[in-house]
Structure 1
């Protein structure tokens, strides 16, 4: 039984036999009773403001075009923000960090090697022996 409609009585509708068969097959596909299927269909049309006689093609295409225009507008705004705000800020930050790098100075404790430092021992050459 349909929830919330258990105590209501049934009414008969006069519809053609071929339409009734097609409707029953559709009800079986969506796994609802005939009453609930018809109720869901009516609520769909009322909630969306759609008439069954209207074609939905132009409406959907119009919405798609509007959405694409708005997305293109958002992309243009983001590109402008990137060009006018983000890139200059990044360039300024990079220049600050490049100047702030410390120069490599030798440590105070580090000993410098000079050319005067000769080994105190003489290497032996095996050919001189």
Structure 2
């Protein structure tokens, strides 16, 4: 017996025999009595605001296409954010940290201020290496 409906009496409906056979098969697949299967069907149509006359096909396809469009729009926004905000920011941060690492190292070339003393000492060192004397007379 159906729970909650044990004390109710049965009514008869006049339906065609082929439709009654089809409904009985459907009820067996649902695993419920014929009364409960009919009640579930009615509740479904009322809860979803559907009519048995209208088809769900076009409505489902319309919803699916709308969802796909929204997903594509969200993906476009995420790609734009990545392209215009995330990657440039990451590149700037990388360059900033690379700049700090380079400041820790000694520079390869340094600028020296040339004074008369340093020029004379360098000229003297060069002459000693090449074997020339300091004065042109010797």
> What secondary structure does 1:27 align onto?
helix
Question: Superposition RMSD on alpha carbons, in Å?
Answer: 1.4
Q: Output the CA distance in 2 between the equivalents of 1:14 and 1:90.
A: 74
Post-superposition shift, 1:65?
Answer: 1.2
Q: Output the CA distance in 2 between the equivalents of 1:88 and 1:7.
A: 74
Larger RCO (CA within 8 A; separation ≥ 6): 1
- Larger gyration radius, structure 1 or structure 2: 2
Post-superposition shift, 1:97?
Answer: 1.7
TM-score, normalising length from structure 1? 0.75
Runs of 4+ in 1 over 3 A off after TM superposition: none
Equivalences for 1:73-112 in 2 at 5 Å? 73-101=73-101, 102-103=104-105
Post-superposition shift, 1:8?
Answer: 1.6
Post-superposition shift, 1:64?
Answer: 1.2
Equivalence for 2:10? 10
Post-superposition CA distance 1:36-77 (Å, at most 9, x none):
100111111111111111121211111111111111110111
> What secondary structure does 1:40 align onto?
helix
Q: Output the CA distance in 1 between the equivalents of 2:88 and 2:59.
A: 43
Q: Output the CA distance in 2 between the equivalents of 1:74 and 1:86.
A: 16
Paired positions, count? 104
